[in-house]
Chains A and B, each alone.
Chain A
Amino acid sequence: MTETGFPVLSALIFFPLLAAIGLFFLRDERTIRLYTLAVGLIEMGLAAPLFRFDLSTAAFQFVEIMPWVPAWNMNYHVGVDGISILMIFLTVLLLPLCVLCSWTYIGKRVKEFHFCLLLMIGACVGIFSALDFVLFYIFWEAMLIPMFLLIAVWGGPNKRYASLKFFIYTLAGSTLFLAAIVAFFVNTGTFSIPELMTHEYAFNFQFWTFLAMALAFAIKVPMFPFHTWLPAAHVEAPTAGSVLLASILLKMGTYGFLRFCLPLTPAASEYFAPLMITISIISILYGGAIALGQRDMKKLIAYSSVAHMGFVTLGIFVFTLRGVEGAIMQMINHGITTGALFMLVGAIYERSHSREITDNLGLGKYLPAYMFFFGLFAIASFGFPGTNGFVSEALVLIGVFEANYLLGALTIPGVMLAAAYMLRLGLKLAWGQPSQAMTWADLTPREWVYLAPLAALVLYLGLMPALALQTINPSVVHLLNQYETRRTLHLESSLQPEPPAHIAQLPATRGTDQ
């Protein structure tokens, strides 16, 4: 465990929240933007100690624990492991980029906008680092409020409908999650997530808590029947809102599956795996097919998100090492590429004032730099070799094929669909006729600045994914070992109810798994 003495995670969570208060004292719009940008850069600096992350252990690191409500055994408990640390890096990186991409896009109520942005980032870091169930739930729900305002205040023409749908959908999904948290607490007497992971639960209990949690996460991801809020929210949200939605918010669902469903309810996870896999494959194929027919660029990318997130849940629920690693990589990569694509759509929207593909044709000749970035992120999105998307999709596919050939075969059309809709979009944007882009300016230096880091990450993670994989590997190995042991343990204990029997078998089972 790396103890630095400096509360890195608390600083990352609370610095944006405190900085948000400072916004109240500023008046000038430019100062507000510069201030928030500076906050974003300092936040990135604050994240630097996280690079001392120990790659050799699956234990939680940078742990901070403080009593919070002793009467209910609630603690302020944060920490990171390989599953969450990359998401924290991504979250922190996105703050300055979001400020930059909203520099001219957001023209009204600038102060409130940046206020919401800072609250979002603080809450999102909190979600990925919370190790106390209640703390997690607080960030999970608190994040909804600034996101709702981002859509409802700065959104497009249909913003009221979209923001309400987003809020009610996600809140309704997570109400039962709260009941599940209460049930876990009453069953074990603790809210501490690492401690809860060491307990065994009866199958019946796992069955219902899995369902309650999976509903909340599936809506957030979103998986097939619950995805309808996503296109509406994406289309109406301002650029920064779409970026945060795609890059971080959707990942919270899959992170929830990894952090809670697999370790806490392993037997139920296995029981429900066929269902989750089926839904994932439907998401991949359905999302891809619908994306193929879209005329609105944002809607197209939104549906492609449904498909990409289907790969993540698929990778998780095949329970193979490569599948889960691929899923985590896909979370990061989708965050990078889709976030960047939304930024690009926002950039072109500022020129054409339309998100329709037909209004943005033939950019290749007049906006070559724009088209370069768009092409790069588009091919990364469908997993072209050499880009980050390839690494994660290949890992997921290998994991799926390891589990079952037929399953693998079913996902291949999804990969082809991704290429089809992305290439269709790219072709039209680059060479479509008639083009109206003659008078449009190419990328400004500001746009270069916020696109270049993401482009660098696309290539870095595509060509040298080793460091990222090393980071997540110990945690994933640990997660799957735990899952295997406790899944089998559970079956044994239900067959032969004498406790000494499975205590004796515990080391043996672990040995065979490794």
Chain B
Amino acid sequence: MIFHIELFIPELYLLALIGGLFVLTVGPQAWWRFLRHLPLAAGIGIGVAAVSLQFSGQFPSLMFYGAYQVDGLSQFFKLAIFLGLAVTCLNAMNQPGLSEEKRPDYFLFLCLSALGLMLLSSAVELVTIFLALELASYSLYALIPLRSREPAAAEAGIKYILFGAVVTALAMYGLSYILGVQHTTYLAELVTRTWSWSETPAALIGIALFLGALFYKLALFPLHFWCPDVYQGASNETAAFVATLPKLGAVVVLVRLSTLLDPSMEVTLLLAVLAAVSMTFGNLSALVQTDLKRLLGYSSVSHAGYVMLGIVAATPAGLSAAAFYAVVYLLMNLACFWVICRLATDGRNLKLDDLNGLYQRSPGLALVLAVSAFALVGLPPTAGFMGKLFLLNSAWMAGYHWLVIIAVLNSAIAIYYYLNLVRHAYTREAPVTATGKVQPVPNPGLLWGGLLAAAVLWIGVAPGTIFSMAKVAGAALLP
């Protein structure tokens, strides 16, 4: 067995963090004050992942009997996962509606889920992928109902578990077909096998079922139905995690699996159709939402469709565009959720009307919200535009002209509800209190929100660095 500890540092670091959190959960209450340093610890993880990204080219990258691959793609995503984890931890630090004694457990599960996603980004064998996916999911099953005085949270938790279990079972069933027909579960070997209706129909059914598990994570139509309900039921801070990091995990596996796809395959066409339906359905449903998290839930359904543009293209350009977009999506969604979490000081669900006059209550947060909303539409000069442009380019190159046209028309639909966020924040007046004053947002956390918004703008103006990282990641997969 090949094992290079240098390549495994990010996972080991996170594992150590989890070990520490576990000690906190069983230790005396006096130790809980160490929790304050968790965001910083996760932030150091970003540096650790960056270092391992530098190392990634220097060693033979396959480990654990060929089941675990450390390459540019995986380290790039590990970096992004640490980034997301740091921000969500910071975001959830003073979570209202989470009792004090549950906080160590909350963060333990948060980190465990991130570890699952991290393993997922390196897994190149179907059983390993499956296990990593389950690690990431099971931790979330425990997290979602953690919201006091909220029956909807329990409902959301049950929905997520039940549907998740069904999808998992189907994926397992698909895996058995693949193993039975192709006699291997290693991606590297699966690539060399034939995938066609005429010769190996069972394997195709198998891969379709297996993809279903990933689509469930990604919230792609028709496996999107849990998404708005779970976002709405879970606390704002948990929703910020569920909406962002698991998508990264799903995208990285899809990017790896897409080396199996070929534009001429029937499955690929089916995926393209799903992408189109997903973005249209998500956008149309979001138009009528008034609950902010439901709105973002449907928006993530449509974004899942956008990411698929790069996956179905299955070219190095497409894969790197998908990887790039996943990171951009992480940033812009986190920025949006940052504003929501800061506004909902009592942990309740926000309606659109709660944004009224945000510019008066906190001009900085209003700006962060505007930047993230315009980024989610894909309007320049934000990162959302660059991400979308790269996806459109790669899809058009692969010949999916109709899909590109559907995608651009969708941004015309999407603008209405994203713009609504900005309109509520800027053109409506804030409710006044009895004293006739506007109540400012007590703890806006402008520094971090501002940094997220600045990152979204910066990647939009100068996407070169991040994209070249994504490009190395994508190019490593396809010759």
A is bound by B: yes
Interface residues, chain A, with chain B CB atoms under 8 Å away: 68-72, 112, 134, 137-139, 141-142, 144-145, 148-149, 152-153, 159-160, 163-164, 167-168, 171-172, 175-176, 178-179, 182-183, 185-186
Q: Find out whether the CB atom of B392 lies under 8 angstroms from the CB atom of A179.
A: yes
Contact residues, B356-402 vs A (CB, 8 A): 359, 370, 374, 379-381, 385-386, 389-390, 392-393, 396-397, 401
Contacts of B385 in A (CB 8 A): 138, 141
24 A-B pairs with CB atoms under 8 Å apart are A70-B468, A71-B320, A71-B468, A72-B389, A72-B393, A112-B359, A137-B380, A138-B380, A138-B381, A141-B380, A142-B381, A160-B427, A163-B423, A167-B415, A168-B416, A171-B411, A171-B415, A172-B415, A176-B405, A176-B409, A179-B396, A179-B405, A182-B392, A183-B396
Interface centre among B386, B408, B416 (most CB of A within 10 A): B408
Q: What distance in Å separates the Cβ of A145 from its nearest Cβ neighbour in chain B?
A: 6
Report how far A176 CA is from B392 CA in the complex, Å: 12
Q: B426: CB under 8 A from chain A?
A: yes
Q: Which residues of B contact A137 (CB under 8 A)?
A: 380
Interface residues of A, dominant DSSP: helix
Contacts of B463 in A (CB 8 A): 69
B286 within 8 A of A: no
Is B415 a contact partner of A168 (Cβ separation < 8 A)? yes
- B408→A178 contact, CB < 8 A: yes
Contact at B390–A178, with CB atoms within 8 Å? no
Top 10 A-B pairs, shortest CB-CB distance = A138-B380, A172-B412, A175-B408, A152-B427, A182-B392, A179-B408, A186-B396, A182-B396, A175-B412, A141-B380
Contacts of B427 in A (CB 8 A): 152-153, 159-160, 163
Shortest distance in angstroms between B318's beta carbon and chain A's nearest beta carbon?
12
State how many angstroms separate the Cβ of B376 from the closest Cβ of chain A: 14
CB distance from B390 to the nearest CB of A (A): 7
Report whether B467 and A142 are in contact in the complex, using a CB–CB cutoff of 8 Å: no
Please measure, in the bound complex, the distance between the C-alpha atom of A18 and the C-alpha atom of B381, giving whole angstroms. Answer: 15
Residue of A nearest to B470 (CB): A71
> Which B residue's beta carbon lies closest to that of A176?
B408
- Residues of chain A within 8 A of B415, CB atoms compared: 167-168, 171-172
Given contacts A145-B379, A175-B411, 5 further A-B contacts (CB under 8 A): A72-B390, A163-B423, A176-B405, A179-B408, A183-B396
Q: Given known contacts A68-B464, A71-B464, is B393 in contact with A185 (CB within 8 Å)?
A: yes
Determine if B471 is an interface residue (Cβ-Cβ < 8 Å).
yes
Instruction: Please tell me if B131 contacts chain A, counting CB pairs below 8 Å.
Output: no
Among A112, A141, A145, A186, which residue has its beta carbon within 8 angstroms of that of B393? A186
Rounded to whole Å, the gap between the CB of A182 and the closest CB of chain B is 5
Q: How close is B388's CB to chain A, nearest CB, in angstroms?
A: 8
Q: Which of B100-120 contact A (CB under 8 A)?
A: none
Residues of B contacting A179 in the complex (Cβ-Cβ under 8 angstroms): 392, 396, 404-405, 408
B419 near A: Cβ within 8 Å? yes
Contact A69 B426 (CB under 8 A): no
Question: A72: which B residues are within 8 A, CB to CB?
Answer: 389-390, 393, 467
Could you say which residues of chain B place their CB within 8 Å of the CB of A185? 393, 396
Q: Report the minimal beta-carbon distance from A247 to chain B, rounded to whole angstroms.
A: 23
How long is the Cα–Cα vector from A120 to B69 in the complex, in angstroms? 49
Of listed A68, A153, A178, residue having the most chain B CB within 10 A: A178
Shortest CB distance B46–A (Å): 23
- Residues of chain B within 8 A of A178, CB atoms compared: 389, 392, 408
Considering only CB atoms, which chain A residue lies closest to B398 in the complex? A186
Which residue on chain A has the smallest CB distance to residue B393? A182
From residue B171, how far is it (CB to closest CB) to chain A in Å? 34
CB-CB under 8 A from A182, the residues of chain B are 389, 392-393, 396, 404
A484 to B398, CA, bound (A): 34
With contacts A159-B427, A160-B423, A176-B405 known, is A69 near B467, CB below 8 A?
yes
Q: Which residue from chain B places its CB closest to the CB of A135 in the assembled complex?
A: B380
Whether A168 contacts B404 by the Cβ 8 Å rule is no
Q: How far is the CA of A33 from the CA of B401 in the complex (A)?
A: 49
Instruction: Kindly list chain B residues whose C-beta atoms are within 8 Å of the C-beta of A164.
Output: 416, 419, 423
